Amino acid sequence: MDEKQYFVHNRYSFKDVGETAILVRFCNIGFLLLMLCACKDDRQSNSLNDVLDSGVLKVGTTYGLTTYYNGATGPVGFEYELADGFAQYLGVKLEVFPYYTLNELFPQLQNQHLDLIAAGISVSPERARKFKFGPGYQRVSEKLVFKQGKIWPRDISTLNGNLLVVSGSSHSESLRAYQQLNEQLTWQETDDKDVEELLEMVLSEELDYTIADSNILALMRRRYPELSIGFSVSPEQDIAWAVNKEQDDSLLAALIEYKGIIQSNGVLATLEDKYFGHLRQFNYVDTVEFIKAAKQTLPTYRPWFQAYANDLDWRLIAAMSYQESHWQPDAVSVTGVRGMMMLTLDTAKDLGIESRLDPEQSIKGGATYLSNLNQRIPDRIEYPDRLWFALAAYNIGLGHLEDARVLTDRQGANPDLWIDVKIRLLQLRQKIYYKTTNYGYARGNEAVIYVDNIRRYYDSLVWLDEQQPDIAVEANLATGNEQEDPSLTNSIE
């Protein structure tokens, strides 16, 4: 098995790479290390050797949706998973040091108490003067956020209210740049609240405006659809890890190689898709209607979703049912599928379902069918990819899904990764591809949309189910008098 195959089949686990393999890998970039370190003082310690000798990689981050937090099964977060992979790649233990503010975090790196910072921070000009940065792995822009229904601010000169941003953030840097052109621009900064709290303050009308990175905003708008975009405060910037500017570049060189490996083997794309891929498009009306239905309609059927979920999360079954029928027991499709889970007549008979229009029977049948599909996905395919495959098969059939996986393999991509297979599902509509498959033409694009929608609904249900009532911010669910602006349905850069 070559190196690329190894990392494909061990997607997030680098622990089997022994120290010898690590040293061999670093020999492959020996010239890069020599070039980067040639001008350094011989007495200066080698930052990579320091990590390898200690057996520990010390990573600083901040608490947040996409950075780091303790979930039900342990630490989670996009930045955490990337950092954990890097530590396993080096063959060392990961130690995460989470901080509440950026102003607390950056001095720890400058004082060499941390090896690097992985906190979803953008490479702003001011930060680039203070730190070295690894290769960018995501691009975001800064958005001015206001509450839907308020006067739409078209540019920085039209702001008329309180603007509060996180202290030490790139957002405050951007505002200082604007202030050089407009001395009347004022804002406040806080160390006591993070950007998620500031967005909630905008919703509760305690605050007129704040600024958020586009990736964070994409997640938050699934929870709070009234968060609207006024304008882009900055062009797109790289998100990257920071290392100490005074140290040699050996650790940075290892980081560059690690990023190259996970980019070439699909691990980076898979992680990015896991956290952000299904959030690219935002539809205000759909999100508002879903949250409304989750509060008003779902409680009627929730006991059945919980009772028949089998080995799956009941909230996933509920999200799938909303995608299928919007939780309408008498839903009927022109193709003949019926009920809350839109079962075909043949499938209902196979599952012993007597009435597809009976909500309890429909939920039981749909949940059982999805569980069966999930078990039929090859064992080597890991979660969550196997779950996305099962959902796609529910929509398009296992045969067409297998056709897409065969196309994926033929084209040199990984047939066990959803991020690769969903591209080939789109090809099932093109004759040049589907004429070579066993099951022929299929509307594969609908299966991709189907899975993405369910993932969005599922994320919202998890949040609605787990949020604390005393800190919940109620969305304004009124429809019919919404202000029309481009932020209602748009993509997040």
Residue 183 bears catalytic tag: no
- The tally of CA atoms less than 13 A away on the side-chain side of residue 395 is 24
Question: Following CA atoms 291, 373, 406, 435 in sequence, which dihedral angle do they give, to the nearest 10 degrees?
Answer: -80
Contact 392, 401 (CB under 8 A): yes
Q: Which two tokens stand for residue 254?
A: 């290892």
In the set 189, 324, 446, 466, the catalytic residue is 324
HEC string for the chain: CCHHHHHHHCCCCCCCCCHHHHHHHHHCCHHHHHHHHCCCCCCCCCHHHHHHHHCEEEEEEECCCCCCEEECCEEECHHHHHHHHHHHHHCCEEEEEEECCHHHHHHHHHCCCCCEECCCCECCHHHHHHEEECCCCEEECEEEEEECCCCCCCCHHHCCCCEEEECCCHHHHHHHHHHCCCCCCCCEEECCCCHHHHHHHHHCCCCCEEEEEHHHHHHHHHHCCCEEEEEECCCCEEECCEEECCCCCHHHHHHHHHHHHHHHCCHHHHHHHHHHHHHCEEEHHHHHHHHHHHHHCHHHHHHHHHHCCCCCCHHHHHHHHHHHHCCCCCCECCCCCECCCCECHHHHHHHCCCCCCCHHHHHHHHHHHHHHHHHHCCCCCCCCHHHHHHHHHHHHCHHHHHHHHHHHHHCCCCCCCHHHHHHHHHHCCCHHHHCCCCCCCCCHHHHHHHHHHHHHHHHHHHHHHHCCCCCCCCCCCCCCCCCCCHHHEEECC
Cα angle 224, 63, 417 (rounded to 5 degrees) comes to 75
Residues identified as active-site: 324
